[in-house]
Amino acid sequence: MSDIAFQPIRTVATQLRAGRLSASELTRHMLDRIARIDARLHSYRAVGAEMALDAAARADAELAAGRDRGPLHGIPLAVKDLCDTKGMPTAAGMSFLRDNVPSGDATVVARLKAAGAVILGKLHMTEGATLHHHPAYPIPVNPWDAALWPGASSSGCGVAVAAGLCFGAIGSDTGGSIRYPSACNGLTGLKPTWGLVSRHGVYDLAPSFDCLGPMACNAADAALILDAVAGFDPLDPTSLPGKVESCSAALDQRVGAHGLRIGYDLSEAGRLSPETAAAFDEALRVLAEIGAGIVDIRFPDISAFRACKRFLIGPEQAAAHASLYEKHAGEYGSWLAKAIEAARRMDPLEVARAGLERRKLSAAIARLFEAVDVMVLPVFRDGTPPDETRASPDFLRLGPTSDFTTPVNAAGNPALTLQCGEDGAGAPLALQLVGPHRSEPLLIALAHQYQKATDWHVRHPQGCTEAA
């Protein structure tokens, strides 16, 4: 099974249907990889080996009987540990929930299972999906370089997918938590339009910012996962109504980027590190080469939003934790406890003003899409941050980290992160593609065309390939 852990999902699905591989063999192989590799990476909080093997055996029987549930049938995936998963512990990174075993599945998990996916286990995350990991849990290690940040809050998702310990994962994103670990670990990660993917059965951070989405090695795999989980859910009152266009179908409908107007703020280039700027220049050249028109735009001034965003996320976070915090305040990590206490003391007038600034920013971002179809934005100005940066309590308030991620959550737009280069040490460099609401098929199709013209997405961390 040399290197099968890094093969595209459709390639593996073809082997399953041709009888060259069984879902049971594939699942055992992935469980063996987890046992061998994850002892040093700490991406999984819980591995449901017996449940996964049972699901794989059912997939084999169904495929043999001609009951094909689609391309995820028999494919081993994993989910962030804030999604309820029947029979598996769900802690949302909090120590006092370590033994919590839900009796039912979050909608995203139920939909993956309905698509025939094999759920390998639950992936580590920061406490309550914020910045810091609770000291009760090990911190996932970036497989590219242990000295680099693995990203937050979907840290385990980023590490597991990059290391070939699952074929894809469901992460969550409130201000960059799919995009940060995807950028840090060289993945394709998609934060969908707010409300496109149900949050039923998922622990909240800031509900009006929170999104669930796929993290995978490439855009085509991300499309398959998103297709399986997106769509209206009557159990989630914030779920968007209406038909959801297939992202996988969109891959076959677009050739190159012909006719697309891609906006990039050229004035931002001077604030990027030389390596990041060079990677962006090359990515823009590739996009132009495959047919896109590059348009110079100006990203909205976010200084007012930056100054007040704590008045947006903080109160929602405090509300989400209200009942748990009353019972378990002494068991919270210091960073999250301080954030909740600070939010409880916030001036309601400041909260109201912040809501208005959010509306202004959302409108300004919407106006940009009158002139362009897609925006290209950085994730980090200076490449993947060193691991020690997360020790700073001010990390997420630093402009270079969140200036290009949280505004997209505030506006509810979809954003896709993909690798576009590497730094001098071989660590991934990344960009974001941001589109109008419900433009996921366009973003994924464009990312797929870019990846057909480049090979960044097929590079993997040393020590995680089968040859190693």
The single-letter DSSP state of residue 217 is S
CA dihedral 245, 251, 256, 259 (to 10 degrees): -10
Given 177, 182, 198, 248, which residue is catalytic? 177
What are the DSSP E strand ranges found in 184-315? 188-191, 211-216, 261-264, 293-296
Residue 126: which of 104, 149, 106 has the closest Cα?
A: 149
158-171 per-position pLDDT tens digit: 999 999 999 999 99
* Assigned domain for 130 exists: yes
Q: What is the pTM of this model?
A: 0.97
CA dihedral 305, 308, 309, 311 (to 10 degrees): -150
Same domain for 328 and 265, yes or no, is no
* Assigned domain for 386 exists: yes
Same domain for 430 and 284, yes or no, is yes
DSSP-assigned beta bridge partners for residue 120: none
- Does the active-site annotation cover 80? yes
* Assigned domain for 110 exists: yes
Query: What span, in angstroms and rounded, lies between the C-alpha atoms of 380 and 402?
Result: 8
H-type alpha helices, 151-198: 155-162, 179-184
For range 70-94, the mean pLDDT: 99
Same domain for 324 and 243, yes or no, is no
Same domain for 387 and 343, yes or no, is no
- Does the active-site annotation cover 153? yes
Same domain for 73 and 85, yes or no, is yes
Number of structural domains in the chain: 2
Query: What span, in angstroms and rounded, lies between the C-alpha atoms of 179 and 381?
Result: 14
**Could you say which of 314, 349, 384 is where a domain stops?**
349
Which DSSP string do the residues of 337-390 spell out, in sequence order? HHHHHHHHT--HHHHHHHHHHHHHHHHHHHHHTTT-SEEEEES-SSSSPBGGGG
Same domain for 24 and 53, yes or no, is yes
pLDDT for the residue 387: 87
pLDDT for the residue 24: 99
Residue 382: which of 132, 184, 147, 182 has the closest Cα?
A: 184
Residue 132: which of 351, 335, 407 has the closest Cα?
A: 335
* Position 226 pLDDT exceeds 90: yes
Q: How many CB atoms lie within 10 A of CB 3?
A: 11
Residue 78: which of 64, 68, 90, 62 has the closest Cα?
A: 90
* Assigned domain for 463 exists: no
371-419 per-position pLDDT tens digit: 999 999 999 999 998 887 666 655 555 445 689 999 999 999 999 999 9
Same domain for 151 and 183, yes or no, is yes
**Among 136-150, 221-235, 387-401, which stretch is predicted with the lowest mean pLDDT?**
387-401
Same domain for 213 and 319, yes or no, is no
pLDDT for the residue 266: 94
Same domain for 180 and 79, yes or no, is yes
Q: Read off the pLDDT band of 465 (50, 70, 90).
A: confident
- Does the active-site annotation cover 177? yes
267-311 per-position pLDDT tens digit: 988 999 999 999 999 999 999 999 999 999 999 999 999 999 999
Same domain for 332 and 400, yes or no, is no
Given 43, 80, 154, 439, which residue is catalytic? 80
Q: How far apart are the first and last CA of the chain?
A: 13
Taking the mean position of all CA atoms in its chain, how far away is CA 389? 20
Same domain for 77 and 146, yes or no, is yes
pLDDT for the residue 1: 64
More confident residue, 89 or 391: 89
Chain-wide mean pLDDT for the chain?
A: 96
Q: Read off the pLDDT band of 467 (50, 70, 90).
A: very low
Task: List C-alpha distances in Å: 389 to 152, 297, 335.
Answer: 12, 31, 14
pLDDT for the residue 402: 85
6-63 per-position pLDDT tens digit: 999 999 999 999 999 999 999 999 999 999 999 999 999 999 999 999 999 999 999 9
CATH code assigned at 121: 3.90.1300.10
Given 153, 154, 172, 198, which residue is catalytic? 153
Same domain for 337 and 381, yes or no, is no
The fraction of the chain above a pLDDT of 90, given in percent, is 92
**Could you say which of 349, 379, 408 is where a domain stops?**
349
pLDDT for the residue 395: 58
- Residue 400 belongs to what domain range? 4-304+350-458
**Could you say which of 349, 383, 409 is where a domain stops?**
349
* Assigned domain for 464 exists: no
pLDDT for the residue 398: 47
* Assigned domain for 465 exists: no
Tokens (6 digits) for 398: 């630093």
* Assigned domain for 468 exists: no
The fraction of the chain above a pLDDT of 70, given in percent, is 96
